[in-house]
Amino acid sequence: LREQGLSEISQAKTEEKLNDVRVKLVGRKSELTEILHSMKEVEPEKRREVGQNVNKVRDLFNQKLDDAKNEIVEKLVEEQLAKEQIDVTLPGRVTHLGVKHPINIILDDLENYFIGMGYQVVQGPEIETDHYCFEMMNLPKDHPARDMQETFYVDKEDLLRSQTSGDQARVLEKHDFTKGPLKMVGPGKVYRRDDDDATHSHQFMQMEGLVVDENITMGDLKGTLELMTKHVFGQDRETRLRPSYFPFTEPSVEMDVSCFNCDGKGCPICKYTGWIEVLGAGMVHPNVLENAGVDSNKYGGFAFGVGLDRFAILKYGIDDIRDFYTNDVRFLEQFSREE
Ligand code: PHE
């Protein structure tokens, strides 16, 4: 029994197996216990000797069981440590940081620029109402100029805004002119049913601008646009204003910036003109002021709407506007060091 028990202990290689062996050898139903229980059958003069032997074997079993258990636990700890070993000389893994989208770089910069000049930044809804996007902006339901902006309608009254100009009406309605002039920029996404090509996209970013006060002139508009373009592109890039038409401004202009690609000689990017149109602007139409409850005899102002994608194209020399939304990280990562 002794030899048999010792060999079973030495063969148990896991804690569970060892436990089983322990129950079998020294548990309540083990052979040893049984021997002790059946002492009555042993001749009285031999009882003492048998009892001593049984106890000796049980002590030996217990001792060996404990040793075996310690050995197993030690081995487990060693294995665990080996697994968790850290090689502190290995080079660290490089964390992949995201980068700012080029349009956001331009937008953040422009917002800061205008905040510095006392403008407030507003954000209108992307699903705009026909009321704010068009009617308040002097574009009644059957106005032919609605054709200028092929619009996605959600239903009869709601649309994916085709311009951020609705922001003008929203702030004009709220502004308290006794507290000072109104100066705001309103950036955001706009949508149009355009055929996508290198310079057109069905979704792009605009930034609306509006200044209303007493005695604002077209010279203020020109100066504001010129300073903004110089701020973004540096002193060298040329700009030009062309007369244009918008229902919510009178007179109206468009501003072009000289093409980055062909140095004014013409290429497919600028449709062989040497210029790229980047914004529409003009003096706020009296109807827009009156619609919002502002006295157009006392107050006047200018407004502009910048195409931020076009700004980004020109600033970074990008030759396809679609690169902005296809989100190829190889394209986007080029601008990470721009700030
Ligand atoms: N909303 C016009 C457009 O999207 C741009 C514009 C804004 C023109 C403000 C004049 C004044 O084309």
ipTM over 0.90? The verdict is yes
Give residue-wise pLDDT tens across range 86-130: 888 888 888 877 888 999 999 999 999 999 999 999 999 999 999
AA identity, residue 191 = Y
CA nearest 308: which of 209, 184, 180, 170? 209
CA of 282 from ligand 1 middle (Å) equals 8
Across the range 257-281, mean pLDDT stands at 86
Nearest CA to ligand 1 atom 7: 305
CA of 317 from ligand 1 middle (Å) equals 24
Q: Is 71 annotated as a binding residue?
A: no
Whether the predicted pLDDT of 338 surpasses 50: no
Q: How far apart are the first and last CA of the chain?
A: 83
Please, which residues have CB within 8 angstroms of residue 77's CB and are 6 or more apart in sequence? Answer: none
Question: Which CB contacts under 8 angstroms, 24+ apart, belong to 30-37?
Answer: 31/1, 32/1, 32/57, 32/58, 32/61
247 lines ligand 1 (CB under 6 A): no
Cβ atoms of 288 and 175 within 8 Å: the answer is no
Whether the predicted pLDDT of 140 surpasses 60: yes
Give the separation between CA 149 and CA 161, rounded to whole angstroms: 10
Both tokens of 210, joined, read 């509006």
Residue found by looking up tokens 């062909």 in the block: 262
pTM: 0.72
Whether the predicted pLDDT of 135 surpasses 80: yes
Both tokens of 75, joined, read 């081995």
pLDDT of res. 163? 96
pLDDT of res. 337? 55
* C-alpha atoms less than 13 angstroms from C-alpha of 75 in its C-beta half-sphere: 9
Among 162, 165, 242, 244, residue to substitute to test ligand 1 (most atoms within 8 Å of Cβ) = 165
Give the separation between CA 339 and CA 334, rounded to whole angstroms: 12
Residues paired with 300 in a beta bridge: 213
CA nearest 171: which of 284, 255, 311? 284
Across the range 143-171, mean pLDDT stands at 93
Annotate 126-187 with DSSP letters as a single string.
SEEEHHHHTGGGT--TT-GGGGGS--EESSSSEEE-S-TTHHHHHHHHH--GGG--EEEEEE
Residue found by looking up tokens 């080996």 in the block: 82
Cβ atoms of 131 and 170 within 8 Å: the answer is no
268: confidence class by pLDDT, cuts 50, 70, 90: confident
Across the range 137-152, mean pLDDT stands at 90
pLDDT of res. 128? 97
Whether the predicted pLDDT of 243 surpasses 90: yes
Among 164, 211, 246, residue to substitute to test ligand 1 (most atoms within 8 Å of Cβ) = 246
